[in-house]
Amino acid sequence: MKTQRNIGGLVILLVALIAFGTSGCKSAKKGREAAAAKARMEQAAAEKARQDELARQQAEEKRLNADKANRELEEQARRNAASKSDTPTSQKLEQYFTSIAGSSSTTAANSSIQEALTMFASEDTPVLIVISEEGGQKDYDKPTTIKAYLNYLKDQRKKPDHISNVQMNDAGRIKELELLKENGLNKP
């Protein structure tokens, strides 16, 4: 009798366990599914956030590059404007050249040379003279210094070469000068 009752209890217990267990599994399963779904959603959100951030960074980089390019263009334009032969510096220098080459006396020429040299960083400022240019490739005469070139103009008394490029230093003095030889082959 007692045994039968125990067995019965056990069966009831077993059935209950099974019933509860099943319903627990189902819940767990639902829970797991819910968790998985939540994880997927979080993952997706994270991915989106990552992509948004990347896009934002790229946009920012692009903006910065554009700004930099613009600044460089402006700088180049400013340098070009400074180096053109029709700038005040170039015009003044050209006047000195003409004056030195056409001086009435050695004394007058030497005086003009001393004045002209004040425009330069030093009397050893390099002077490059282009003899020809083709396809962007420049051919130069032997580089000289501004002092030597001015004395050359004084001695030879001939038409000076055309000023094509003037580079200035921070102190507003010429640090490099490029001339274009007047030989009928070059177009200023």
Partner 1 sequence: MLRNKFLLLAILLGLFTQVLAQEREVSPQRKQAIDSLAMEKVKDLSKYISIIGNKKTLYAEATRVMDRAGELFVPDSEMGVSSLSRKEVNYYKVRKYFERLMALNYDRVTIEWYNVHYISDLERQPDGRYVGVITIYQRFEGTSGDVLKYKDTTKKDITIYVERKKTQIGGRIVEFWDVLLGDIRVTETTV
Binding site for partner 1 (CB under 8 A): 106, 126, 128, 131-132, 134, 139-143, 151-152, 155-158, 167, 175-176, 181, 183-185
- Of 58 and 106, nearer to partner 1 (C-beta) is 106
Angle between helices 88-101 and 106-117 (to 10 degrees): 160
- Of 93 and 176, nearer to partner 1 (C-beta) is 176
- Minimum CB–partner distance for residue 87 and partner 1 (Å): 19
DSSP percent split of the chain into helix, strand, coil, nearest 5: 65, 15, 20
- Minimum CB–partner distance for residue 106 and partner 1 (Å): 7
- Of 3 and 137, nearer to partner 1 (C-beta) is 137
- Of 1 and 188, nearer to partner 1 (C-beta) is 188
Structure tokens at 90: 């170039």
Structure tokens at 140: 């130069």
Backbone angles phi, psi at 145, to 5 degrees: -110, 160
Residue 60 CB-density burial (10 A; 0-12 exposed, 13-18 middle, 19+ buried): exposed
- Minimum CB–partner distance for residue 80 and partner 1 (Å): 17
